[in-house]
Structure 1
Amino acid sequence: MEISINQQRTEIPEHFSVEELLNRLSAGSASGMAVAINQAIIPRKQWPVHMLRPDDKIILIKATQGG
């Protein structure tokens, strides 16, 4: 199925959770990551159970340190 991640179209398998998507993309820690789907923030505790749908618009934000 096709979704949008930070305004780039991407193909993923059907029945894919937010957590599975982040594991595939980050290949590391999701620490400091925030996820919004269709303009709604998805709490971290819902990542394993929130299933993605065709044409979802996902925004991934990674917090960084600096100044």
Structure 2
Amino acid sequence: MIEIHINGESQQLAANITLAEILALKHITPQSVAVVVNHTIIPRSQWSQHQCQADDQLEFFSAVSGG
């Protein structure tokens, strides 16, 4: 198990978990968010290969339209 921080909240998750697996675990539709890991935007095409590390800081941002 590793500890990561998702939108400021600590989470204990399995080691070697990918961003895609975290989104599925959280029931988040991939098309509805952008993901930032340690202040770096991770392209959607890399989510299934990007493995999270202990103490990573993840931020999920929802797309909002309007004006």
Whether these two folds match at TM > 0.5 is: yes
Q: Whole-Å Cα distance in 1 between the matches of residues 57 and 29 of structure 2? A: 22
Q: Whole-Å Cα distance in 2 between the matches of residues 65 and 44 of structure 1? A: 20
Q: Whole-Å Cα distance in 2 between the matches of residues 25 and 64 of structure 1? A: 19
Pairs aligned (count): 66
Aligned-pair Cα RMSD in Å = 1.2
Gapped runs of 5+ residues in structure 1? none
Q: Whole-Å Cα distance in 2 between the matches of residues 16 and 8 of structure 1? A: 17
| Paired amino acid for 2:6 | I
Instruction: Name the structure 2 match of 1:13.
Output: 14
Instruction: Name the structure 2 match of 1:25.
Output: 26
Instruction: Name the structure 1 match of 2:43.
Output: 43
Q: Whole-Å Cα distance in 2 between the matches of residues 8 and 49 of structure 1? A: 23
Shift of 1:31: 1.4
Q: Whole-Å Cα distance in 2 between the matches of residues 8 and 39 of structure 1? A: 16
Instruction: Name the structure 2 match of 1:34.
Output: 34
Q: Residue 19 of structure 1 aligns to a residue in which SS?
A: helix
Shift of 1:30: 1.7
Gapped runs of 5+ residues in structure 2? none
More strand by share: 2
Of all paired residues, the percent bearing the same amino acid is: 32
Instruction: Name the structure 2 match of 1:2.
Output: 3
Shift of 1:59: 0.5
